[in-house]
Structure 1
Amino acid sequence: MSDAEHEPQGADGEPTPSRTDQVTDSEPTPSRAEQVAALRPGYQADLARGLDRFFEPRRSDCPWCGSARLRTRLRTTDLLQHKPGHFVLDRCQDCRHTFQNPRLSAEGLEFYYRDFYDGLGEKQLGNTFGGRTAMYRQRAESLLPFAATPKNWLDVGTGHGHFCESARTVHPGTTFDGLDFTDGAELAERAGRVERGYRGSFPELAPELAGHYDVVSMFHYLEHSTEPGRELEAAHRAIRPGGHLLIEVPDPDSRYARLLGRWWLPWLQPQHLHLVPAENLRRRLTGLGFTVVAEQHAEPHDPVDLLAGTWLAIDAAAPREDLPWLPKPPNRRQRTLRTTMAIAGVPFLILATLLDRFVVKRLSHRLGLSNAYRLLARRD
């Protein structure tokens, strides 16, 4: 259960995970156990070299405003893949920007993203993203009051292009392109979800895309970027005057962040590198030459916080499933205990789902619990 809607990519050309070797159509698909066994030697060799190389030096100032007044906001582990390592989020006491410190290095980004969106995790995440049609349509509809008939739309961090496929039903006259650092954009093009799929870094590709688009969207993408400021500059360059930039990101000011602590899914460590308060993003956009024409908090809220938090807690307490970064597969007792704990947790998961969807959802913005916000800005 991930809040990321698109496959992430580095903002300054840092490598993100490539798809693992593909099995040809003529070969039988290996079982999960076989895939894990095949991957284990590589992961064990990586871990034998130590974790220090996966992190950059710790910084003493805020990457958003430069202030040296930092305070640790969260210490946690990888609660989704359970890869080894400890991660720290610091918060600037002046501008309230929250960021990973120390940040993952290029090697760290590759290691911790590997087998999440591709490889072992590809099928599960692909099904999750492909099944969120209503959410994608709602995102596309948020543009209608301001630009009902955009000609060209670029979705940055498009993953496999599922948003573009759904958005076309809202904007049937619009040409949708996708950009992603992984081969997801190319796969989206082959699948017909986007007209053209660009693979690479947005800041590096921006010169060739300059002034080409009526709309650029970034849905749950900016928080994965190593340098979000460069991404915003690239968007300003790619959008023609009068066009729009549509951004949706986790809201670090959500009360859920404090109430649920490390069990709040949008922390998504170690993938989320920057969590930007809405006020900071508005100011940065204004400084770049945008006018923010809409800000939404209730609409982009994804009602999964209690469900996800409950599952993360149950999963953390249970023995691990078979994973290639573990030295050996779990034994029968461990497998049985994990299954038993998962079954015992079902009533709590059901209760959490009901509270998320039928109680909190209606009051999320009023109570300050919205887990995301959306800004629409017009390029002046």
Structure 2
Amino acid sequence: MSSLDINQIRKDFPILEREVYGRPLVYLDNAATTQKPLSVLDAMREEYLNVNANVHRGVHYLSQQATDLHEAARERVRQFVHAEKIEEIIFTRGTTEAINLVASSFCESQMQEGDEVLVTEMEHHSNIVPWQLQAQKRGIVVKHIPITDDGYLELSTLNSQLSTKTKLICIAHVSNVLGTINPVEDIIKTAHERGIPVLVDGAQSAPHMTIDVQALDCDFFAFSGHKMYGPTGIGVLYGKEEWLEKLPPYQGGGEMIDKVTWEKTTFERLPFKFEAGTPDYVATHGLAKAIDYIESFGFEAIQQHEQELTRYCMEQLQTIPDIHIYGPQQSIAKDAVVSFNVGNIHHLDMGTLLDRLGIAVRTGHHCAQPLMDRLGISGTVRASFALYNTKEEVDALVAGIRRISQMF
């Protein structure tokens, strides 16, 4: 049994006491975004009330205080991902912007027409479309590692796909649809043996497991605050200092400059070279508080609880006639996500009717249309878990699906 006191934890999230259509809210859309604890909301409100001033630029007290909070948040993130240096932590608006930053700056400076980027068949659009945009601009080639029918990467094809033209591998740590935990350590090792850098999309792993970028030895790692109990509009790009020094700025403006003349501009040192304009310094403080919140429980306890829920959910769903669960069938290989369809019931119909029962799930292609094409479907129903979810909520989900199935 989980060591977490879930009933006590739920008190930190007042939104979970809401009713929807007269029924208790069962929130199972955490892979899209998590709810926010009072400690995060209170910290952000406190900063707006008492410490609101633009960072880095002011000599006055409030500006210096806000700057201290902002840079303390950067150090908190460095500790969270176990980066070696604070210069390696770049604040972005989220995983999507972090990947776009790398796509733009890396392709501009490190790639030529005909060079290749390797992604996987289970990627979110955020790790496909930026590379396709660069393909249209620069003539690079986007290739992908295929997946097996049960949702694992076909790693037997990896070596044959790598060549002197492969300049970067970009891979989801965890699939947002299948929940598959990918063997990124093995892929990074293989890539580095050939001198190929690796970007890891950690949007779905950072909320659920310990991240150690030095142990992984990844060259880039991206994640979002809002999927890990933090505010929206804030994310992080970790990059090895040697790579960040090589790459040109992604955007131009204030904050990221050293000196501007009509003849030329020189740029700030890391990490500021990649942070044009006023940062969301209140959100960075909120992200730091979210990290504090997560680490107060410890990832071992969080993983144990979420894996118990995932396993229980899969076991209970399998009692429903004509259900199809996508991805790995062993909960140990999955991470807090269960995607499924029932018979010929359209995923949108299932999601809409579950909503009327107060149960919030995600339906559709989950921003992973190439994966849907591989599976031969238009979309799925997805239930995804966080540390505040309970087995009783899984029971409500299963009862709701059973009731809707009988209607059809």
Q: Does the pair score TM above 0.5?
A: no
Q: TM-score, normalised by structure 1?
A: 0.30
- Structure with more contact order per residue of length (Cα contacts < 8 Å, sep ≥ 6): 2
Structure with the bigger percentage of helix: 2
Q: TM-score, normalised by structure 2?
A: 0.29
Structure of greater Rg: 2
